[in-house]
Amino acid sequence: MDNRRTTLARWVEIDLAAIAHNVAQVRRLLGPEVRLMAVVKADAYGHGLVQASRVALSQGADMLGVTHPEEGIILREAGIAAPILVFRPLLPGEEETAVAFDLTPSISEPEQARRLAAASRKAGRAFPVHLKVETGMGRTGFLPEVLRELAGELFSIRELKWEGIYTHFASAAGDPDFTRHQFLLFSDVVRDLAERGIYFPLRHACNSAAALLYPEMRLDMVRIGTLMYGQLPAGVETDFLGLKDAWSFWTRVIHLQQVRRGTTVGYGRTYRVRRDTTLAVLPVGYSDGFGIDVTPRPSGLLDLVKVLVKTAGAYFGIPWGTQFVSINGKPVPVVGRVGMELSCVDVGKLPDIEIGAPVQLQARRTVLKASIPRLFTGVEEQEGI
Ligand SMILES: *Cc1c(COP(=O)(O)O)cnc(C)c1O
């Protein structure tokens, strides 16, 4: 453990070597024909926008994907020259920024195309764009029938270089039928446009789950986030890529307290200690993304039963569904409600715990406060990061 780490009460460790490994694994899976877009939106899912982008590019990513033009600007200012696709529609007035920083916008309606064409004309060069097709996500993009209708007008805009066309799956792992339906809608539009002489060098549809599950849908490029950071997409069970998780969240025991049986812990007094034990206080809470218990809508009857059993267990004080942290590699249960900034764990079964002992936590990696420092490791192997 290095010196800096021993003085921190909370920190996130980002293993850049793990990201490099994961990108290389995906690259290998795709083979030479399919291009790889590394999706680095949301601060690279909490892994560091610039650092993760550099690693991905060093391992053969061809393009970067972000949500906002601001993210693209940060990458450009860090000296990254790779193509950057901006997923969200640009607001009127953002076109100049896109052109100035050489960001590739997504076009979801004709007005955007016209405004961007005007900005390109001013800059004096044709500007690459990707066309977004809405096939079932219910968010951005041209509906296929609208696109067919507007094709003549849209594709006569000379200032734009129609480099790509893409769509986004709503439930790639969870709903194969709907995914195939979306893919068919998309393929039909692409074919219809091709019949009218309109071709796109980069056709893309797959996110992580789809790229794994449906090789036939990879087309010219896939857009990979989740896998790159070492996580399996929800609904994908087996990891045949040997992914390595790149993110870990650490804190330390800041207080120890011996408590008697019957003591209640935390707000609302929801937890009562059932035997004499030792509690450890940790300086993390729900404002750090820790202990946020999201119960998604049950996806089937079995899922519903699980949720009901868990809820009933909580009512009777049975610790099903309890969260655990890890101390010295051993699971330790969280007790009482997680507070905004503090939480408690029961360390009664670990006799040698001292103040300052490192604790590894699970948390929502994308909502972490900026005040929590990130330590990047694995950089020695990654030249120039
Ligand atoms: C976030 C995002 C992705 C990446 O999704 P993963 O499932 O994390 O791989 C791909 N495409 C678009 C348009 C996205 O917004």
- Both 201 and 262 in a single domain? no
Q: Whose CA is nearest to atom 15 of ligand 1?
A: 87
- What the block records as the tokens of 100 is 């100035």
Give the count of domains, the chain: 2
- Both 160 and 276 in a single domain? no
Rounded to 10°, the helix 16-30/49-58 angle is 40
| 379 belongs to a structural domain | no
| 316 belongs to a structural domain | yes
Phi, psi of 307 (to 5 degrees): -65, -45
CATH of the domain at 190: 3.20.20.10
Identify the pLDDT of residue 290: 85
- Both 135 and 223 in a single domain? yes
Q: Which of 195, 229, 263 is the last residue of a domain?
A: 229
DSSP element (H, E) containing 96: helix 95-100
| Alpha carbon distance 116, 119 (integer Å) | 5
- Both 283 and 156 in a single domain? no
Ligand 1 — pocket residues by CB below 6 A? 39, 41, 87, 168, 207-209, 223-226, 233
**Choice among 122, 199, 267, 330 that is catalytic:** 267
Q: Whose CA is nearest to atom 4 of ligand 1?
A: 225
| 197 belongs to a structural domain | yes
Average pLDDT on 331-335 reads 93
- Both 187 and 41 in a single domain? yes
- Both 214 and 284 in a single domain? no
Q: Which atom of ligand 1 is nearest to the CA of 172?
A: 7
Average pLDDT on 13-21 reads 96
Q: Which atom of ligand 1 is nearest to the CA of 227?
A: 9
Q: What distance in angstroms lies between residue 139's CA and the mean position of ligand 1's atoms?
A: 14
CATH of the domain at 333: 2.40.37.10
| Alpha carbon distance 163, 158 (integer Å) | 13
pLDDT tens digits, 95-122: 999 999 999 999 999 999 999 999 999 9
Question: What are the residues facing 284 on neighbouring strands?
Answer: none
Identify the pLDDT of residue 3: 44
pLDDT tens digits, 359-368: 999 877 766 7
| 371 belongs to a structural domain | no
- Both 112 and 199 in a single domain? yes
Q: What distance in angstroms lies between residue 66's CA and the mean position of ligand 1's atoms?
A: 9
| 365 belongs to a structural domain | no
- Both 44 and 182 in a single domain? yes
Domain of residue 308: give its range: 254-355
| Alpha carbon distance 328, 351 (integer Å) | 12
- Both 170 and 71 in a single domain? yes
- Both 223 and 263 in a single domain? no
- Both 126 and 21 in a single domain? yes
Q: Could you give the percent of the chain with pLDDT greater than 90?
A: 78
- Both 186 and 272 in a single domain? no
Q: What distance in angstroms lies between residue 39's CA and the mean position of ligand 1's atoms?
A: 6
Q: Which atom of ligand 1 is nearest to the CA of 211?
A: 9
pLDDT tens digits, 125-171: 888 999 999 999 999 999 999 999 999 999 999 899 999 999 999 99
- Out of 64-78, 274-288, 300-314, 342-356, least confident range: 300-314
- 255-259 β-sheet, strand order: 255-259, 277-282, 343-346, 330-335, 324-327, 358-361, 247-252, 10-15, 374-377
33 CB burial (10 A radius; 0-12, 13-18, 19+) = exposed
Decide if 45 is catalytic.
no
Q: Which atom of ligand 1 is nearest to the CA of 39?
A: 4
